[in-house]
């Protein structure tokens, strides 16, 4: 089975800190995605990448950046964390669209 | 424009009774459709998918969904609810073109003993 691993389940960071959320997949998928999930708002796409060093903005990229230096790893970066970035962050990967996503277990980030 | 509407934000059923979670979509062309389940503080797990083959799709844990093009619906059903089915369920549409998937806002399923 495809496995998508997010390095942290829970994180607490201070306002203004630079935060890295890491995601690794083990099935050589081309496409990787970062979502945030908030009550009442569902899942919202932050960024996605369809190849190494390629990235596309999603619906809510403001305050975030991403890095994909290797095919298996897709990092989400909060340059200066703010309290409104407290959320559950979900990483996903897929090969073909018809296959659907494989999600990681999520990282619950709290910014204080 | 693509969109997904989950008609119920909360559904409550008794254990052993049928489950119906409703989903309607809008899409310019025949999309791929998915249902995902999310248990508390976990990631999303694929339950089943429709990709233009059989319109009745069987998934894991006894769930099924039927694609009805005329009604633009993809409702999720299960004949008999189990306590372990209590979770959040998401309907997702993948349009024919573009890279994005579109998520519904989720239906929270409660199973009463």
Q: Which residues pair with A107 in a beta bridge?
A: A89
Q: State which residues form the domain around B58.
A: 3-112
DSSP three-state, residue B66: strand
A108 neighbourhood in chain B, CB within 8 Å:
41
Say which CATH number the domain at A44 has.
Answer: 2.60.40.10
Q: Which residues pair with A33 in a beta bridge?
A: A48, A92
For an interface test with B, the pick among A24, A92, A97 (most B C-beta atoms closer than 10 Å) comes out as A97
Q: State which residues form the domain around A44.
A: 4-111
Express each pLDDT in A11-39 by its tens digit.
999 999 999 999 999 989 999 999 999 98
Rg (CA), chain A: 13
Residue A15, chain B, CB below 8 Å: the answer is no
User: Per the structure block, which two tokens stand in for B71?
Assistant: 């009604």
Total structural domains within chain A: 1
Total structural domains within chain B: 1
For A86, counting Cβ atoms within 10 Å of its Cβ (0-12 exposed, 13-18 middle, 19+ buried), the class is: middle
Per-residue CA distances from B19 to B63, B77, B108 (Å): 9, 5, 12
Residue A105, chain B, CB below 8 Å: the answer is yes
Contact A45, A26 (CB under 8 A): no
Say which CATH number the domain at B47 has.
Answer: 2.60.40.10
Express each pLDDT in B26-48 by its tens digit.
876 778 899 999 998 788 999 99
């Amino acid at each position: 089975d495809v496995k998508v691993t997010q390095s942290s389940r829970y994180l607490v960071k201070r306002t203004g800190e630079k935060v890295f959320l890491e995601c690794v997949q083990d099935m050589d998928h081309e496409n990787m995605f970062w979502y945030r999930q908030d009550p009442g708002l569902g899942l919202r796409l932050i960024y996605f990448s369809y190849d190494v060093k390629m990235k596309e903005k999603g619906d809510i990229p403001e305050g975030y950046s991403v890095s994909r230096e290797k095919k298996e790893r897709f990092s989400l970066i909060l340059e200066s964390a703010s309290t409104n970035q407290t959320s559950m962050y979900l990483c996903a990967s897929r090969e073909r669209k018809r296959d659907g996503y494989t999600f990681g277990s999520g990282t619950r980030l709290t910014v204080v | 424009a693509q969109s997904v509407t989950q008609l119920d934000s909360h559904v409550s059923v008794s254990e052993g009774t049928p489950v119906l979670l409703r989903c309607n979509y809008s899409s310019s062309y025949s999309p791929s459709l998915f249902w995902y389940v999310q248990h508390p503080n976990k990631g999303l797990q694929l339950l089943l998918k429709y990709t233009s083959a059989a319109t009745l799709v069987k998934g894991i844990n006894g769930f099924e969904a039927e694609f009805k093009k005329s009604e633009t619906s993809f409702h999720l059903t299960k004949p008999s609810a189990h306590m372990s089915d209590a979770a959040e369920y998401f309907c997702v549409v993948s349009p024919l073109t573009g890279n994005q998937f579109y998520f519904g806002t989720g239906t929270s399923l409660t199973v009463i003993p």
